[in-house]
Each structure stands twice: as structure tokens, then as C-alpha cells.
Amino acid sequence: MDDLKSKYLGLIADASDEAAIEEVRLTALGKKGEISLAMRELGKMTPEERQVAGPALNAIKDEINSALAAKKTALSDAALDERLRGEWLDVTLPSRGRRTGSIHPISQVTEEITAILADMGFAVAEGPQIESDWYNFDALNIPGHHPARAEMDTFYTHRATGDNRPPHVLRTHTSPVQIRALEAQGAPIRIIAPGRVYRADYDQTHTPMFHQVEGLAIDKGISMANLKWTLEELMSAFFGTRVKTRFRASHFPFTEPSAEVDIQCRWDNGSVTVGEGDDWLEVLGSGMVHPKVLQNAGIDPNEWQGFAFGMGIDRMAMLKYGIPDLRAFFDSDLRWLRHYGFASLDVPTLHGGLSK
Ligand code: PHE
């Protein structure tokens, strides 16, 4: 019996993993295990023999069972220690640098212009980029035969054969938002509408998608003087220096009178500086909203009047940040984006500064 006991305790001590332990358990205590078989022999013994052998076998069985359990615990503790050693990490190490994205100059400039005009009481309005004929043209006093429709190189949507409704257009300017905002809100109103516009045109200074910001102020007693002040304030705040403006008589079907607005600048061998010199650069179209436009939007032109303007955002970004080629805006070249992009936490505000 002592041999039996030391044999199995030895095997248990030598077992190096759980499978080996299970193996030992089966050979000793399994149905056909050596101890189990020995216990079965008890029946054949005389009562005197059994009285000695029975408790002795039971004691061995108990001892082997607890040795098995103890070894199991020891093995799993060792495994855990091993894992903790292997998976140890130094949380005090500096992290690996991660590249962060940047804010696109057009988004930046849109936010800058919005911050300036919001401070003057203009709220942001929006409209769809796929627009109906009515909002993009007719409501703005541009009838079907008007040359402005052709001039704008409009993209039309396709209709199924047999569908004779007029096609929709990709809005050619942000002016349709004037109508939508007036319909939704009525007068008085002061809104700006920044967003994408589309014209079929592509060269160094034109891309088929570009950005405008529309401005609209309707109230009682608004005049061109308010328009001029607003635009001069806008330009000066945007460029961070006093910028002179020049209003040139022009024509838009939706404003009367109409003016194209130039800002003061200087050219030195190909690069332009705004707010100095005696050259002029055209940056926007504007005017007093045409009575027909107000009427089309359900506003009584005898009671209300006001101004509107439309400005190219991309052009403003090029001028302020010295970006020479418009097309680069839309190439998604990462090197370009890193060079001209802005930090995402530097949100333009008038009190915090428009740009860093
Ligand atoms: N919608 C005009 C354009 O795209 C700009 C404009 C807007 C002119 C508002 C006058 C008033 O050229």
C-alpha cells in the first residue's frame, strides 16, 4: 500500500500540465484505475483483512484526491503568473504619435465668414443642392428664355423617357435659398446661406463644383448703404485689415439696382495682397432684391425691401491664404491638405480670432 501511495504521489508531483494530472487520476481512481480495482478486491477478503485494508485504501484515495486538487491549483497559478509576466506592459511609455486630420481651407473660410456675419445678426439657412427650375431660376426672375440660364452652364438631372416634367438642376448659385428662407420665415429676415453650387466649367479658376455664401437682409427701410457697410465690415474683418470696396453697376435679374463688388488689392509678380495698393479684384455680386423676387416668395414689396449678395467662398480662401490654383482644393492631396489645413480645435470666432 505504501508503494501504491508513493507511486501516485510521485506521478502527481511530476505532472506538468492539466492533461497529465487527468491521466494520473484515471490510472489511479478511474473506473479501471488501480486503486478502484484494489477496492473491488476488498469483497474477497476476510472481515479481519478488510478491516485493515479498507480504511487504508480509503486514506490513500483521499490523499491522492487532495494531491490532485493541490497540483491543479498550483499549475493554474503558475500559468497565470506566466501570463502576467508575458503580458506585462509599461503604461508609462509615451504613446505612438497619431496623425490627425485637418480642417479644409474651404470649411475654415466658410466658418470664418459665418462667424463674422452671425455677429451682425445673420442666421444660417440651407437649401437643397438638387433644386427645381422654379427656385433656381423662375422665382429669381430668370424666365425660361433668359440668357442667364445658358450663361450659367447648368447641370440638368435626367428624366425617364416619357416623363415630361421639367428636369431638376444642380443649383447654379445659392440664391434659391433666398426664396426658400423667405417662404419659411417671411420678413423681416437676415440670413446667410453657405454651400455648394455647380456649373459645367473647368479650368484653373473654375471647377464644376464650388462654394458660395448668399446673404439676404429684408426689413423696412433697408438701402444700398446698409449693403455697403455690411460688405465692408465683412471684408475688413475677414482679411484683418481695413479693405476698401468698389461698387460697379451691373445686372442680375433678381436685384435692382445691381452691383458687382471689388476689393482693393495689390499685385506683386503674380501674388496678390488684399487691403493695399490700387488694383481691384471682383469678389461678389449684390444688389437690392427685385420686387418680383419678393412677390414670388410671398412678400409684399411695397412694405418690405432689402439687399442680397452672393460671394465665392473658394476665391476668398485663395486670396486670404495665398492658394494659387483652385483645382488643388478638390484633389484631396494629403500633402496639400496638411500644408493648407487648419487645426480642428481652432474654431473661428470673433473673440478667439478667426484663424491661427
Ligand atoms: N447669384 C449670383 C451669382 O451666382 C450672385 C448674386 C447673389 C448677385 C445675390 C446678386 C445678389 O453670380
| Distance separating alpha carbons of residues 182 and 185, to the nearest angstrom | 5
Does CATH place domain 102-340 in 3.30.410.10?
no
Q: Return the pLDDT at 169.
A: 93
| Distance separating alpha carbons of residues 312 and 299, to the nearest angstrom | 27
- Residue written as cell 493648407? 340
Q: Return the pLDDT at 146.
A: 82
Query: Which DSSP helix (H) or strand (E) runs through 192?
Result: strand 189-198
Which residue among 182, 254, 313, 315 has the greatest number of ligand 1 atoms within 8 angstroms of its CB, and so is best to mutate?
254
CA torsion sign for 60, 65, 71, 77 is negative
With H, G, I as helix, E, B as strand and everything else as coil, classify residue 88. Answer: coil
- φ, ψ for residue 104 (rounded to 5)? -65, 140
- The rounded Å distance from CA 310 to ligand 1 centre is 4
| pLDDT tens, position by position, 232-286 | 999 999 999 999 999 999 999 999 999 999 999 998 888 889 999 999 999 999 9
Q: Whose CA is nearest to atom 4 of ligand 1?
A: 173
CA torsion sign for 260, 263, 267, 273 is negative
pLDDT band at 144 (very low <50, low <70, confident <90, very high): confident
| Distance separating alpha carbons of residues 131 and 177, to the nearest angstrom | 10
Q: Which residues line ligand 1 (CB under 6 A)?
A: 173, 175, 252, 255, 285-287, 308-310
Using omega within 30 degrees of 0 as the cis cutoff, is the peptide bond preceding 188 cis? yes
- Residue written as cell 487645426? 343
DSSP per position, 232-299: HHHHHHHHTS---EEEEEEEETTEEEEEEEEEEEEEETTEEEETSSSEEEEEEEEEEEPHHHHHHTT-
- The rounded Å distance from CA 96 to ligand 1 centre is 49
Q: Return the pLDDT at 149.
A: 77
Ligand 1 atom at minimal distance to the Cα of residue 178 = 9
Q: Is the pLDDT of residue 159 over 90?
A: no
- The rounded Å distance from CA 76 to ligand 1 centre is 77
- The rounded Å distance from CA 49 to ligand 1 centre is 116
Which residue among 122, 137, 140, 173 has the greatest number of ligand 1 atoms within 8 angstroms of its CB, and so is best to mutate?
173
Ligand 1 atom at minimal distance to the Cα of residue 197 = 4
Q: Is the pLDDT of residue 42 over 90?
A: no
Q: Is the pLDDT of residue 100 over 90?
A: no
- The rounded Å distance from CA 286 to ligand 1 centre is 6
Q: Is the pLDDT of residue 105 over 90?
A: yes
Q: What percent of the chain has pLDDT over 90?
A: 64
Q: Whose CA is nearest to atom 10 of ligand 1?
A: 286
Going from N- to C-terminal start, the domains of the chain cover 2-85, 102-340
- The rounded Å distance from CA 303 to ligand 1 centre is 23
Query: Which DSSP helix (H) or strand (E) runs through 212?
Result: strand 209-219
Q: Return the pLDDT at 289.
A: 98
Q: Whose CA is nearest to atom 9 of ligand 1?
A: 309
- The rounded Å distance from CA 257 to ligand 1 centre is 12
